[in-house]
Amino acid sequence: MKELDAVDDSIFTELFLASPVASYICNRTGHIVAFNEAAALLWGCRPEIGEAKWSGAVAIYDPGGRAIPVKESPMAMVLEGDENAADVELIIERADGTRRHVLVFPKPIRSSEGHLIGGHNTLVDITDYKQYEERQEILSEIVQSSNDAIVSKNLNGIILSWNKGAQRIFGYAESEIVGKSVETLIPSYLKNEEQMILHEISEGRKVDQYQTIRVTKSGKEIPVSLTISPMRNKQGQIVGASKIARDISDQIQREQTIQFHEQQLETLHAIGRVISEKLDTSSIIQTVINSTTHLIAADVGLCFYRVTDEEGRSTLSVSAATHETALHLDEHRIDLEDGVIHAIFSGEDAVRVDDVCETPYILSLFDLPMNPEIPPIRHCLAIPIRSADKLLIGAMFFGYSRLDVFNNADEDMMRSIASLVAVTLDNARLFEEVNALNLKKNEFIALASHELKTPLTTTKGYLQILERSEIDQVGRRFLTKALKQLERINALISELLDISKIEAGKLSFHMETFDLGELILDIVETFHFSSRTHTIFVNNAQGNYLVEADRQRMEQVMINLITNAIKYSPDANNVHITLESSLLEVSVQVTDEGMGLGHDQQEKVFTRFYQVEGTSKMAGLGLGLYLSKEIIDRHGGYIGVNSRLGKGSTFYFSIPRRQNQ
Amino acid sequence: MKKKIYVLEDDADIGELIAFLLTEQGYEVSVFSTIASFRQYANHNPLPALLIIDVMLPDGNGLDVCKEWKTAATTQSIPILVMSAYEDYRHDNRAQDADGFISKPFDIKSFLVDVKAQLS
């Protein structure tokens, strides 16, 4: 085989055509006379030989994207004799509209005489490289522009890279910190943390959102959240770690703010609950002062408030609390004169006293038997409590030993709580007033009933004397009517008095042992005189009906039941009373043959002021059965009714033979 | 000889009513409208066969008089009827030794029954 010792033109031609690098040749006028396959691929077309000039591309742009006329293309420039046009970067537009980045190397072709006869051009496609470069730039830009600190370090903890975020958060410039240990950023009491992190990384594990503390260049400790991932080389070996640190001071502050507001809400809720559930002023105020003192982290809280007792006397009370607990001031009552309270506030909503030592009357408020560990009170926040009509009815004082304690949020909160307290105090005052009025009402009814009965006594007496005398039938009928009406008035007055006693919880009973059967017979006998319309039969009257009960009250019940039986059976003539007894109780039934009661009415007859519809002519105040029920209930018995409309009613009651008292 | 009954009652009309009823029954009746005038009289006159006392009097409480008479040796055997429009006095401690309680307004028949029961 013949050795290759010289290269002829055909080999060069072959090389040109087969080269993977795009190349083409133009003549003196710039017409393309030859191009290889690589050039056709790059352009995406095959320009017509002898027609296309200077370039096979659809269009040419400089790297900035500005269009370059083809006659000013580097090849054209070379053919114009401009040697400097060589080795430039261009963007070419292909036949399909896509663009490629290329480096062009146009060179002139000269004849053996040295005349310019054409040019050749080589195009190196650098598009992939350019894109990679762009991606790198974007990544780098992302890292640089991140708000988080992005840092890389090797397995010895030496910092390798440092972005602007890291500089912003930690204060060190890149040049100051790269090459130093990452321990520079770790507070001394957390130094072993880095060992733990490096251990995790060297094991190939990621440390995710680890919240810890780091130190800035100025020495300030800041809370950070760290995410640390292992960094590997091309062979997959772990060579270091990338670390993203986020400054979470704001987040933590937001969390604390939320927590603070939650606590405030909870306190307000608790106070609202206590105000709506309790009526006892002092325990409400104590709860309020305990929780508010704790909430605003005061060392001592005091609440002065005015209360009115049952006799209408107004006194100043005080509740106190320390940050931890309620403070009992039983033996250490503080006197705060109204004049002083008024002087403190004088129209202000709240007063901040920077130095209580300068206002002795406030200083003296805090002279309490307190835990000696509480340092002396220095500052005071004073909040007035005003009633709905703007009267000053109390005040809250919060004492602090620390400096720099006042803030608007606390003050706003305390103002709202003060208005809640005002509502409480107003309510308590109204409650006391209502109680006092009720007391007066009951006293008045007692007095009035006594005074009303005095003229009744004389009227009844004289009418009864008249009744005995010789008078005609008409006169006698009128007298009977008048006496009946007197009895009604007397019964009404007694009922009113009883009701007021029940309301006041003063209906008292005097238990004695007597025979209920005998009592009933006595009562029935008096009805034989007064009621000429009805005959009252007593069944089983003989027997052992001994009970321990209040004789007058049982008489009242029997009279009420018999009177009702007669009153509500105007067209009948008989009332039946039946007694029954057992070992433990005695029962009585009173049966009439009257109008009876519907189901609804039966449920209501024992309620206060109830009157059966359509019977208003007959009725009194509607208190009789209510009182009877109260009396039977208080004897530990029960009372009820069986009835059908139009078929009469049976009222019955039972009482135990003995009272368990 | 007529039995003497002292009545301590400040309401003139009631006093007159009671005096009328009892005189009619053959008793000798003295009515007093104040405790002071009653004491004054009782100290200088023979003791009565029966004492009827209203509770609420202008110069004191009739129950105190009741207790006083029921405590003193010379008067404790004299029956006393306490009388009031206010039922609660029936169970007052000072009335526990009284011989009866009359509710106002009273029925004249039962009133006379109660009086006679004490004097029989």
CATH number at residue A38: 3.30.450.20
List of chain B residues whose C-beta atoms are within 8 Å of the C-beta of residue A491:
none
The pLDDT value recorded for residue A661 is: 56
Residues A241 and A261 in one domain: no
Residues A385 and A303 in one domain: yes
Residues A425 and A287 in one domain: yes
Please indicate, yes or no, if residue A474 is contained in any of the structural domains. Answer: no
Nearest C-alpha of chain B: how many angstroms from A457? 4
List of chain A residues whose C-beta atoms are within 8 Å of the C-beta of residue B88:
508
Closest-CA residue to B89 (of B51, B59, B62, B57): B62
The pLDDT value recorded for residue A654 is: 95
CB atoms A453 and B85 under 8 Å: yes
The pLDDT value recorded for residue B82 is: 95
Closest-CA residue to A557 (of A626, A509, A466): A626
CB atoms B56 and A453 under 8 Å: no
Nearest C-alpha of chain A: how many angstroms from B74? 31
Q: Give the residue-averaged pLDDT of A497-525.
A: 88
CB atoms A460 and B87 under 8 Å: no
Q: For residue A453, how far is the Cα from the chain centroid?
A: 61
Over residues A320-345, the pLDDT tens digits come to 887 766 666 654 455 556 666 777 77
The pLDDT value recorded for residue A331 is: 43
Three-state DSSP class for residue A491: helix
| Euclidean distance between CA atoms B80 and B53, whole angstroms | 7
Please indicate, yes or no, if residue A628 is contained in any of the structural domains. Answer: yes
CB atoms B87 and A486 under 8 Å: no
Q: Give the residue-averaged pLDDT of B47-55.
A: 95
CB atoms A458 and B21 under 8 Å: no
pLDDT at A585 over 70: yes
pLDDT at A150 over 60: yes
- Both tokens of A433, joined, read 């007033």
Compute CA distances A622 → A252, A606, A625, whole Å: 70, 9, 7
Band of the pLDDT at B114, cuts 50, 70, 90?
Answer: very high
List of chain B residues whose C-beta atoms are within 8 Å of the C-beta of residue A462:
17
**Rg of chain B (C-alpha set):** 13
Whether B19 contacts chain A with CB within 8 A = no
| Euclidean distance between CA atoms A59 and A22, whole angstroms | 17
Domain boundary among A388, A412, A435: A435
Highest-confidence segment of A13-27, A443-457, A587-601, B4-18: B4-18
ipTM of the complex: 0.91
Taking the CA atoms of A487, A488, A489 and A491 in sequence, report the sign of the dihedral they define.
Answer: positive
List of chain B residues whose C-beta atoms are within 8 Å of the C-beta of residue A454:
11, 14, 85, 104
Closest alpha carbon within chain A to B109 = A464
Give the lowest-confidence range in A269-278, A374-383, B21-30. A269-278
Q: What is the CATH number of the domain that holds B115?
A: 3.40.50.2300
Backbone φ, ψ for residue A398 (5° rounding): -115, 125
Q: What is the DSSP letter of A591?
A: E
The pLDDT value recorded for residue A366 is: 76
Alpha-helical regions (H) of A156-280: 164-170, 174-177, 192-202, 249-277
Taking the CA atoms of A618, A624, A626 and A629 in sequence, report the sign of the dihedral they define.
Answer: negative
Whether B112 contacts chain A with CB within 8 A = no
What lies within 8 Å, CB to CB, of A500 at 6+ separation is A441, A442, A445, A446
- Residue A189 lies in domain: 146-247
Listed by number, the residues of chain B in 26-55 with a beta carbon closer than 8 Å to a beta carbon of chain A are none
Tally the domains of chain A. Answer: 4
Nearest C-alpha of chain B: how many angstroms from A623? 18
pLDDT at A508 over 50: yes
More confident residue, A300 or B117: B117
Nearest C-alpha of chain A: how many angstroms from B26? 16
Whether B12 contacts chain A with CB within 8 A = no
Residue owning tokens 């005002």: A422
pLDDT at A188 over 70: yes
Q: Give the residue-averaged pLDDT of A530-538.
A: 84
| Euclidean distance between CA atoms A102 and A30, whole angstroms | 20
Write out the DSSP string of A611-640: --TT-TTT--SS-HHHHHHHHHHHTT-EEE
Over residues A195-224, the pLDDT tens digits come to 888 888 888 888 888 889 999 999 899 999
The beta-carbon neighbor of B106 closest among A446, A455, A457 is A457
List of chain A residues whose C-beta atoms are within 8 Å of the C-beta of residue B92:
none
CB atoms A454 and B108 under 8 Å: no
Please indicate, yes or no, if residue A446 is contained in any of the structural domains. Answer: no
Whether A469 contacts chain B with CB within 8 A = no
Band of the pLDDT at A310, cuts 50, 70, 90?
Answer: low
| Euclidean distance between CA atoms A505 and A552, whole angstroms | 18
The pLDDT value recorded for residue B102 is: 94
The beta-carbon neighbor of A453 closest among B20, B90, B104 is B104
Q: What is the DSSP letter of B48?
A: P
CB atoms B105 and A459 under 8 Å: yes
Please indicate, yes or no, if residue A406 is contained in any of the structural domains. Answer: yes
CB atoms B105 and A464 under 8 Å: no
Please indicate, yes or no, if residue A207 is contained in any of the structural domains. Answer: yes
Instruction: HSE, CB side, 13 Å, CA atoms: give it for residue A309.
Output: 5
Residues A401 and A260 in one domain: yes
Please indicate, yes or no, if residue A26 is contained in any of the structural domains. Answer: yes
Q: For residue B38, how far is the Cα from the chain centroid?
A: 11
Nearest C-alpha of chain B: how many angstroms from A502? 14
Contact A648, A596 (CB under 8 A): yes
Domain boundary among A247, A269, A292: A247
The pLDDT value recorded for residue A79 is: 86
What do you get for the CA distance between the two ends of chain A, in Å? 141
CB atoms A490 and B56 under 8 Å: no
The pLDDT value recorded for residue A332 is: 47
Closest alpha carbon within chain B to A511 = B91
Closest alpha carbon within chain B to A552 = B87
Residues A90 and A153 in one domain: no
CB atoms within 10 A of CB A225: 17
More confident residue, A266 or B75: B75
List of chain A residues whose C-beta atoms are within 8 Å of the C-beta of residue B11:
454, 457-458
Q: Give the residue-averaged pLDDT of A87-105.
A: 88
The pLDDT value recorded for residue A339 is: 65
Residues A430 and A352 in one domain: yes
The pLDDT value recorded for residue A588 is: 95
| Euclidean distance between CA atoms A363 and A342, whole angstroms | 16
pLDDT at B62 over 90: yes
What lies within 8 Å, CB to CB, of A49 at 6+ separation is A31, A32, A33, A34
CB atoms B108 and A449 under 8 Å: no
Residues A220 and A273 in one domain: no
Q: Is A204 left (phi over 0), alpha (psi -120 to 50) or beta?
A: left
Mean pLDDT computed over every residue of chain A: 84
- Residue B107 lies in domain: 4-119
The beta-carbon neighbor of B105 closest among A457, A465, A508 is A457
The beta-carbon neighbor of A458 closest among B14, B86, B88 is B14
Task: Decide the pairing of beta strands A511-515 and A392-400.
Answer: unpaired
pLDDT at B76 over 50: yes
Over residues A238-262, the pLDDT tens digits come to 888 888 888 888 888 898 888 888 8
CB atoms A457 and B88 under 8 Å: no
Closest-CA residue to A153 (of A50, A243, A31): A243
| Euclidean distance between CA atoms A539 and A588, whole angstroms | 10
The pLDDT value recorded for residue B41 is: 94
Residues A197 and A243 in one domain: yes
The pLDDT value recorded for residue A613 is: 65
Three-state DSSP class for residue B102: strand
Residues A44 and A165 in one domain: no
Compute CA distances A267 → A328, A385, A408, A428, B111, whole Å: 21, 18, 17, 21, 69
CB atoms B105 and A446 under 8 Å: no
Please indicate, yes or no, if residue A494 is contained in any of the structural domains. Answer: no
Compute CA distances A224 → A93, A96, A143, A208, A346, whole Å: 50, 52, 18, 12, 49
pLDDT at A590 over 90: yes
| Secondary structure element (H or E) that encloses residue A529, with its range | helix A516-530
The beta-carbon neighbor of A457 closest among B14, B86, B87 is B14
Task: Decide the pairing of beta strands A326-327 and A314-322.
Answer: antiparallel
- Both tokens of B106, joined, read 């009273």
| Euclidean distance between CA atoms A331 and A490, whole angstroms | 54
List of chain B residues whose C-beta atoms are within 8 Å of the C-beta of residue A456:
104-105
Whether B77 contacts chain A with CB within 8 A = no
Residues A233 and A126 in one domain: no
pLDDT at B95 over 70: yes
Tally the domains of chain B. Answer: 1
Residues A353 and A271 in one domain: yes
CB atoms A465 and B20 under 8 Å: yes
CB atoms A486 and B105 under 8 Å: yes
Taking the CA atoms of B29, B33, B35 and B40 in sequence, report the sign of the dihedral they define.
Answer: negative
The pLDDT value recorded for residue A616 is: 54
Band of the pLDDT at A282, cuts 50, 70, 90?
Answer: confident
Compute CA distances A660 → A268, A548, A655, whole Å: 47, 10, 12
CB atoms B91 and A510 under 8 Å: yes
Whether A459 contacts chain B with CB within 8 A = yes
Listed by number, the residues of chain A in 228-287 with a beta carbon closer than 8 Å to a beta carbon of chain B are none
Whether B97 contacts chain A with CB within 8 A = no
Whether A69 contacts chain B with CB within 8 A = no
Residues A375 and A288 in one domain: yes
Over residues A618-651, the pLDDT tens digits come to 556 678 898 999 999 999 999 999 998 888 899 9
Mean pLDDT computed over every residue of chain B: 93
Burial of A484 (0-12, 13-18, 19+ CB in 10 A): exposed
Q: Give the residue-averaged pLDDT of B95-99.
A: 89
Over residues A98-126, the pLDDT tens digits come to 999 998 888 888 888 888 889 888 999 88
Please indicate, yes or no, if residue A458 is contained in any of the structural domains. Answer: no
The pLDDT value recorded for residue A580 is: 93
| Euclidean distance between CA atoms A545 and A521, whole angstroms | 12
| Secondary structure element (H or E) that encloses residue A43, with its range | helix A37-43
The pLDDT value recorded for residue B51 is: 96
